[in-house]
């Protein structure tokens, strides 16, 4: 398994943002099932790796796991804030396909 801490520039958000990615070390990445894990209000993208056995589960099942950082956005496109829903639903999967070779979600 590969565990990556990444910072990418989001055109949608117009800023750098973090994501953590777990990639299987066997098989084609384009064929791997991808799970996007979203953090809660009082946490960040590190919560899943700090408080759960997500890496173990991903290894056992050959999954790719993407954990984006979205601050306290509630994963919404805000009237007076950033378009996080658009980022998570459109840009992030495209970034993961391009940078990591993952298949369509």
Per-residue pLDDT tens for 31-70? 999 999 999 888 888 999 999 999 999 999 999 999 999 9
pLDDT of residue 73: 87
pLDDT of residue 105: 56
Band the pLDDT of 88: cuts 50, 70, 90.
very high
pLDDT of residue 50: 93
Rounded Cα–Cα distance for residues 74 and 84 (Å): 8
Instruction: Please compute, for residue 51, the number of CA atoms within 13 A of its CA located in the half-sphere on the CB side.
Output: 9
Whether pTM exceeds 0.75:
yes
Rounded Cα–Cα distance for residues 20 and 4 (Å): 6
86-104 mean pLDDT: 95
pLDDT of residue 40: 85
Confidence check: pLDDT of 2 > 60:
yes
């Amino acid at each position: 398994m590969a565990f990556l801490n990444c910072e990418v520039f989001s055109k949608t958000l117009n800023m750098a943002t973090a994501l953590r990615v777990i990639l299987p070390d066997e098989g084609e990445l384009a064929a791997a099932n991808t799970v996007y894990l979203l953090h809660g209000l009082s946490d960040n993208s590190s919560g899943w790796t700090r408080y759960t056995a997500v890496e173990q589960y991903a290894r056992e099942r050959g999954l790719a796991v993407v954990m984006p950082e979205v601050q306290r956005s509630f994963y919404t496109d805000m009237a007076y804030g950033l378009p996080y829903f658009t980022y998570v639903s459109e840009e992030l999967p495209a970034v993961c396909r391009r940078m990591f070779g993952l298949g369509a979600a």
